[in-house]
Amino acid sequence: MRPPPERDYREAIELRLALRRFLRRSERIARAHGLTPQRYQLLLFIKAADGAATVAGLTDSLQLGQAAVTQLVRRAENLGLVHRRLSEADARVRLLRLTDEGERRLAGAVAELSEDRAALIDALAQLTHEAD
């Protein structure tokens, strides 16, 4: 196997740096809005599911086991960020929704990260373009 060209190493470094910067800033901003990084991700996935989020469905998205997601949801629920309701289609299923407080905190963090997301998307697009 031949070693990759030097450009591949530079691109790998640039990608890792851009991702780490974004993640670190996201963590700081989430905390400024009263959210742990995991809670911030939880709220994002619940919001994206548009009323159809379940604990089982979040395990794959969050890359956590069901017990860990259940615990994360329970803590968010205790903080008044999330509430559960029975599914009308299946009474065995509880759907997760953000409370007004959860919506407020998530919206603040997402809005504050707007420029950072745009910069990361640009960096990824540039790396993709350079690779072509």
Percent residues over pLDDT 70 in the chain: 98
pLDDT score recorded for residue 123: 81
What's the rounded mean pLDDT across residues 109-115?
A: 96
pLDDT score recorded for residue 114: 95
pLDDT averaged over every residue in the chain: 92
Cβ-based burial of 49 (10 A; exposed 0-12, middle 13-18, buried ≥19)? middle
- The C-alpha atoms of residue 126 and residue 19 are separated, in whole angstroms, by 14
pLDDT score recorded for residue 26: 96
Which residues neighbour 84 within 8 Å (Cβ) at sequence distance 6 or greater? Answer: 73, 77, 94, 95, 96, 97
Q: How confident is the model at residue 131 (pLDDT cuts 50, 70, 90)?
A: low
Residue type, 88: E
